[in-house]
Amino acid sequence: MSLIYLLDLCAVGVCAITATLEARRRELDLFGVVVVAIIAGIGGGTMRDILLGRLPVYWIHDPLYVVVGMAAATLTFFLERRLAIPMDFFLLPDAIGLALFTVIGTSIALGANIHWFIAALMGVVTGVFGGVIRDILCNEVPLILRTDIYIYATASLLGAFLLIALDRLGVTHNLALIAAMTLVVAIRLAAIRWYIRLPRMRPYGS
Amino acid sequence: MSLIYLLDLCAVGVCAITATLEARRRELDLFGVVVVAIIAGIGGGTMRDILLGRLPVYWIHDPLYVVVGMAAATLTFFLERRLAIPMDFFLLPDAIGLALFTVIGTSIALGANIHWFIAALMGVVTGVFGGVIRDILCNEVPLILRTDIYIYATASLLGAFLLIALDRLGVTHNLALIAAMTLVVAIRLAAIRWYIRLPRMRPYGS
Amino acid sequence: MSLIYLLDLCAVGVCAITATLEARRRELDLFGVVVVAIIAGIGGGTMRDILLGRLPVYWIHDPLYVVVGMAAATLTFFLERRLAIPMDFFLLPDAIGLALFTVIGTSIALGANIHWFIAALMGVVTGVFGGVIRDILCNEVPLILRTDIYIYATASLLGAFLLIALDRLGVTHNLALIAAMTLVVAIRLAAIRWYIRLPRMRPYGS
């Protein structure tokens, strides 16, 4: 669990950094940026815990999650002008974060002894919901629902399915975790590389 | 309970269909539409369960709710161009769905042994909150809060009051359910037919 | 607890009044205004209770909170044209409400035996989250995240820290409550008086 815990904290930090960079588009002050960044990092797991009734939510008894999100956002806030980090730099860490949140969420849900399909959904919720709240707070249609993102939540869903399938087939949990995470990262990066999108609805009048 | 359960599933499906049609106004991809549709269908009951502490929320142990919402949204997504379903077609099913969610929510809240007024509010939350989250995800001021809808949540509230009053008067629960649902549908359709609205605030400068 | 309870109800009422005045900017009908106002009043404590797992949330078993919010919003709705209340009139009551919600939220969280840092965050959540949901419902970037507000959530955070510090130092709880509330109000009013803001991010291209 120790390695997973460390990676989980890293994923929270990466989420906070990308959220801070995203927040450049909005007139947010330091406090606003830090709040949006923390919520982006812990929002998915929080929603999963609420829906499953695992209360108090996971970060209530472990301040480190909030502290990591806070530190990552504050550093990014003050350094981003100097470093001029391009968003692309975070595509790989972001994909790994998505993969990690997905397998953690799915594992926790499976442990709560629920239907495999709902467990997979909980994996997706853990993976993507932080970003959804981040975008709602910034008053935008959530990025993952829009057409201008390449296969994001779908990668998470397929990874969750693979994890569950391997678990059922009796594969060691650690091996299943790694395989599922690899699938999520691979699909996500392939989608970005070859511009793969889901079909979209044509809006009125088009 | 079996008939109520079936009607509940139907209401989730109808909500998902109308949400999919609404989503035409936004550039959402297939995944985005399905997510918005599922949330529109199960969001109200989910919020009710969280506020009442009935966790895990109701659809965690019954995947059928999510599956129905998913199927309804996907079918609508692919068929809507071909069928050219007018929104008006769903006004009656939508009113029935509102009525059904309202009486289910109120009944559950009464069963939790809380004050009748809060129980009525839980009925309204169950009835309208799915639509509120749907609109927030689509980055709009929720439809039911705006002036361009005819008596919606108010119909739900009056139906909840009637259900509670009849229950107190010793009327059979099934009869009370039917009377309350009839009232909700009647008020809603009358409001649409005769353009009945609540008073509104004049915005600045008018 | 009786005085705190009374002040708590007052804070809900003040929140509801300011939310109603804010809603003038949007085309909301009476129902919409009342809903937004109630949520503004009880949203912070509701979120705190959900995160801490104190379910059902606090107002489920005490309808008075909802009734006070409802009455305050309805009166404001019908009287605001006649009275022409300026927003500035509420700056002091609003600051007191923020202070009160903060100390109540922090006290409750401390009672739940959690890390002091998370307890302070729960105080801030209680203090500001109602306003965040109000702004999301009105389809705006939440006011407290933007740059055009003078030290708001920061005042709440510092007040929560002071309350916890005084508690640790063995100061009577009532005295600590009063000191923390005074600090919140003082910081907030000073920030308004001397236009004190947090640093902000420069948006793209500036």
Q: In this model, does residue B122 exceed pLDDT 50?
A: yes
Six-digit token string for B151? 């008596």
Residues of A in contact with C198 (CB under 8 A): 29-31
The beta-carbon neighbor of B63 closest among A112, A115, A147 is A115
Query: What does the pLDDT read at residue A206?
Result: 41
Mind telling me how many Å the CA of A86 is from chain C's nearest CA? 13
How far is it, in rounded angstroms, from Cα C65 to Cα C151?
27
Q: Angle A47-A53-A57 (CA atoms, 0-180°, nearest 5)?
A: 55
> If DSSP codes are grouped into helix, strand and coil, which group holds residue C53?
coil
Distance CA B187, CA A135 (A): 37
Domain ranges of chain C: 2-193
Model confidence at C206: pLDDT above 50: no
A118 to B50: CB separation less than 8 angstroms, yes or no? no
* CB-side neighbour CA atoms (13 Å) of B66: 17
Write out the two tokens for C80: 């605001």
Amino acid A201: pLDDT: 59
Q: Given the structure tokens 């998370």, which residue do they identify?
A: C118
| Residue in A21, A31, A49 to test binding to C, most C beta-carbons within 10 Å | A31
pLDDT in tens, B162-187: 999 999 999 998 999 999 999 999 99
Q: Which two tokens stand for residue C40?
A: 């503004």
Least confident of A42-46, B64-68, C56-60, C93-97: C93-97
H-helix segments, C84-172: 91-111, 116-137, 153-168
Which residues on B lie below 8 Å from A195 (Cβ)? Answer: none
* Tokens found for residue B35: 């997510």
Give the residue with greater pLDDT, C33 vs B158. B158
Radius of gyration of chain B, Cα coordinates, nearest whole angstrom: 17
Cβ separation of C141 and A138 shorter than 8 Å? yes
Asked if C29 lies within 8 A of B199 by C-beta distance, the reply is yes
Which residue bears the tokens 């004050």? B115
Helix axis angle, C116-137 relative to A116-137, nearest 10°?
A: 70
Name the range with the highest mean pLDDT among A116-120, C80-84, C196-200.
A116-120
Residue B94 near residue B123, CB atoms below 8 Å? no
Q: Rounded to an integer, what is the distance from CA C44 to the centroid of its chain?
A: 7
Higher-pLDDT residue of B153 and B29 is B153
Kindly report the number of other CB atoms within 10 A of residue A79's CB atom: 12
Contact A55, C52 (CB under 8 A): yes
Q: Find the mean pLDDT for residues B143-153.
A: 72
Q: How many CA atoms are closer than 13 Å to the CA of B152, on its beta-carbon side? A: 25
d(CA C105, CA A111): 32
Stretch B118-146: mean pLDDT:
86
Instruction: Give B84-115 pLDDT, tens digit per residue.
Output: 777 677 788 888 889 999 999 999 999 988 99
Q: Which of residues 171-190 of C touch B (CB under 8 A)?
A: none
Q: Which residue of B has its CA nearest to C33?
A: B145
Q: Judge whether A64 and A12 are in contact, CB under 8 Å.
A: no
Pick the range with the lowest mean pLDDT from B46-50, B152-156, C168-172. B152-156
d(CA B51, CA B53): 6
Q: Does B76 touch chain A (CB under 8 A)?
A: no
pLDDT tops 50 at residue B206? no
Alpha-carbon span C188 to C152, nearest angstrom: 6
DSSP letter at B202 equals P
Question: For position C205, what pLDDT does the model report?
Answer: 45
Cα separations in angstroms, A8 against A55, A64, A97, B123: 19, 11, 8, 39
pLDDT at A78: 87
**A151's tokens:** 């296969």
pLDDT band (50, 70, 90) for residue C29: confident
Whether A153 contacts chain B with CB within 8 A = yes
Report, as an integer, the average pLDDT of C143-159: 79
CA distance A8 to A1: 10
Residues 6+ apart with CB under 8 A from C145: A28, A29, A31, A32, A35, A36, A137, C132
Query: What pLDDT shows up at residue B201?
Result: 59
C197 burial class (0-12, 13-18, 19+ CB within 10 angstroms)? Answer: middle
pLDDT in tens, B68-77: 999 999 998 8
Task: Evaluate whether C11 touches C100 at the Cβ level (below 8 Å).
Answer: yes
Dig out the tokens for B178 from the structure.
Answer: 């039917």
Tokens of C99: 């202070």
CB C136 within 8 A of CB C45: no
Tally B–C CB contacts below 8 A.
Answer: 89
How far apart are alpha carbons B85 and A92 in whole angstroms? 42
Q: Does residue C59 surpass a pLDDT of 60?
A: yes
pLDDT < 50 positions in chain A: 204-206
Under DSSP, the state recorded for A149 is S
CA angle, corner C58, sides to C52 and C59, nearest 5? 145
Mutate which of C201, C202, C204 to test chain A, going by most A C-beta atoms within 10 A? C201
Least confident of A126-135, C119-128, C156-165, C174-183: A126-135
Q: Where does the pLDDT of residue C44 fall: very low under 50, low under 70, confident under 90, or very high at 90 and above? A: very high
